[in-house]
Structure 1
Amino acid sequence: MLDAHRLRVFRSVVASGSVAAAADNLGYTPSAVSQHVTALARETGLTLFERSGRGLRPTAAGFVLAEQADAVLARLGEAEAVVADLRAGRTGAMSLAYFPSVGAAWLPHVVRRLTGEFPGVRLDLALREFLPDDPAQRVDVQVAVERPGFDPGSGFAAHHLLDDPYVAVLQDDHPLAVRDEVELAELAGERWVDNDAYDGWCRRNLIEACSAAGFSPPFHVEAHDYPTALSFVAAGIGLTVLPELGAIQLPAGLRAVPIVRPTPVRTILAVVRDAVAVSPPVLAALDALRAVARPVVSAAPG
């Protein structure tokens, strides 16, 4: 395989007409230039120059190679520009996965920043409830709910974003709606609307908290998402218990009341692939996620 650096030196000698002039243009010694040209001739098995007075003149083979070198070096320059753009985050792609309540509350702000700062980068967004066990199926950045102390495994790092406490969402005229907080056990006799279609950590976390309070959640209606469950509560069907992040935008007539003794809390993490961890778009995505999580933290009870 031809050495690109030797081709550059050779092309400079062709353009300059002498080793000394090429050395001056390149900032090399004449000896170094001669060594590169000799090595290229040996590498190709061609006679590339012949003497012409005090200078050098390319042979017929040298002229052909110089023409080809122009094309090769131009393409190499284009490739180097692409590499520079990729390194600076001016082009390329980044994949990001999220779960529904984060998608509604956080992703518009995150995507607006990324598309503003990196207009040439394609964002591949995916809605995922769980972090895949197979590393090959994971994206560059995934916002996920996991247990505290979660280990993402080799090749990935977990960045804490938010500890999200659960709240009870009630109609405004419910007797408990005027309270600043409500003990979880006080909800045991209420009609509950479920809001999770998956047997994931969010639901298991709630069931464990209820068990610690001495009862099992009395689900009377099962809904598959937060908006549907909230609509059922607004219709007077019952109450629902969900993370505070899912209760940021409530329908009219509803109120979210913090739950205590115990307070179920889910941990939200950003799981980042090590291979892209220092790329500008990923660093900006992490910074944007931390920024949108911060107001919720400051508004959290206690």
Structure 2
Amino acid sequence: MLDAHRLRVFRSVVASGSVQAAAANLGYTPSAVSQHITALQRETGLVLFERAGRGLRVTAAGTVLAAQADAILARLGEAEIVVADLRAGRTGTLSVSYFASVGAAWMPGVVRRLTTDFPGVRLDLALREYLPDDPAQRSDVQVAVERSEFAAWPGFGVVHLLDDPYVVVLPDTHPLADRAEIELAELAGERWVDNDVARGWCRRNLIEACSAAGFRPPFHVEAHDYPTAMAFVGAGIGVTVLPRLGAARLPPGTRAVPVVRPEPVRSILAVVRDAVADTPPVVAALAELRAVAGCSALGALGALGAPGVPEVLGALSPAAAPSAR
């Protein structure tokens, strides 16, 4: 049987490029590292390194073993986490993934609720912008953006959290800035700032709406995210169109106005594994997600100056109010 510790030392030598560098990284002496490598070669019956000038070069057999060692050590690390959880009294794991736009606004409240109410459950959190096709990558609960009619995979259900219509962010000196709403076609002649260089679903949804209005967005500047795109608008570079939640924090000198005819909308959903849907942690997570989604919607409406919204936000409990941003 292969010794896991020797595999780690071997992998360190391969990654570091020399016995001396591996020894420094591991806190060992070079002679101790050499002894581990010699023992592993004897254990496997393989020549893993060969001399190359004053250094070492990985052999073909060593390269293959190093690749396998990565997978072996990763699985061993997972087993060690399970053992640590059991020793600490944690008896289960709940995997939750989410997309970037809701990460800072929604997930802290959800995680706080779960860690407070269910200390025996270990949370496995992941940032994921898309619903994965690979079943092995699917979380127990995934907060995602999709069409409202999205049908989940077998063994999963869909919980609708929020419909998020799009707005145009433009300088507050723009001739259209005081409008209650703007038809999408009226923006055809503007300088557009692209806010999704990843070409994700939200951008494709916008492109389809513009096509229905008879034009293709004339993007002049690319930004990597919503805050940067809105900062460009604040600098007078152009306008940008994005989901309403993304415009909850407007830069100074800008205004967000709903776009209509057609009105692009994204749906924020929770895709939930059927096997865990009725467990107390998932029930609590979904309740918290619904709460923060509602607060976020009110906060976004407040940013647009919707009548009555500030009073509603002021009546929210202290626990809910911070999510409305």
**Structure 1 pair 249–120 and aligned structure 2 pair: CA distance change class (3 A):** farther
CA-based RMSD? 2.1
If asked which structure has higher relative contact order (CA below 8 Å, sep 6+), I would say 1
**Unaligned runs of at least 5 residues, structure 2:** 1-85, 308-325
C-alpha separation in 2, matches of 1:197 and 1:288: 31
Aligned length: 216
1:217 to partner: Cα distance: 0.5
Asked if 1:196 is matched to 2:196, the reply is: yes
1:236 to partner: Cα distance: 1.4
> Sequence identity, in percent?
73
Q: Deviations over 1:147-170 (max 9, x none)?
A: 222111111111111110000011
The residue number in structure 2 matching 1:220 is: 220
1:296 to partner: Cα distance: 4.3
The residue number in structure 1 matching 2:272 is: 272
Q: Is the CA contact (8 Å cut-off) linking 1:147 and 1:201 kept in structure 2? A: no
Q: Deviations over 1:56-109 (max 9, x none)?
A: xxxxxxxxxxxxxxxxxxxxxxxxxx8xx99xxx75322111111111321122
Q: Is the CA contact (8 Å cut-off) linking 1:96 and 1:126 kept in structure 2? A: yes
Q: Which amino acid aligns with 2:110?
A: V
Which stretch has the larger CA shift, 277-286 or 91-100?
91-100
Q: Is the CA contact (8 Å cut-off) linking 1:96 and 1:140 kept in structure 2? A: yes
Mapping for residues 153-192 of structure 1, pairs under 5 Å: 153-192=153-192
The residue number in structure 2 matching 1:234 is: 234
C-alpha separation in 1, matches of 2:110 and 2:254: 28
Mapping for residues 99-178 of structure 1, pairs under 5 Å: 99-178=99-178
Point out the structure with max Rg over C-alpha.
1
C-alpha separation in 2, matches of 1:97 and 1:181: 34
C-alpha separation in 2, matches of 1:226 and 1:207: 16
Describe the SS at the equivalent of 1:266. strand
C-alpha separation in 1, matches of 2:247 and 2:142: 22
C-alpha separation in 2, matches of 1:227 and 1:125: 24
The residue number in structure 2 matching 1:30 is: none
Q: Is the CA contact (8 Å cut-off) linking 1:105 and 1:245 kept in structure 2? A: no
Asked if 1:294 is matched to 2:294, the reply is: yes
Q: What TM-score results when the alignment is normalised by the length of structure 2?
A: 0.62
1:297 to partner: Cα distance: 4.5
Q: Which amino acid aligns with 1:124?
A: D
**Unaligned runs of at least 5 residues, structure 1:** 1-81
The residue number in structure 2 matching 1:93 is: 93
C-alpha separation in 2, matches of 1:233 and 1:111: 34
1:193 to partner: Cα distance: 0.5
Q: Is the CA contact (8 Å cut-off) linking 2:164 and 2:243 kept in structure 1? A: yes
Moved over 4 A (4+): 296-302
C-alpha separation in 1, matches of 2:295 and 2:210: 28
Q: Which amino acid aligns with 1:281?
A: P
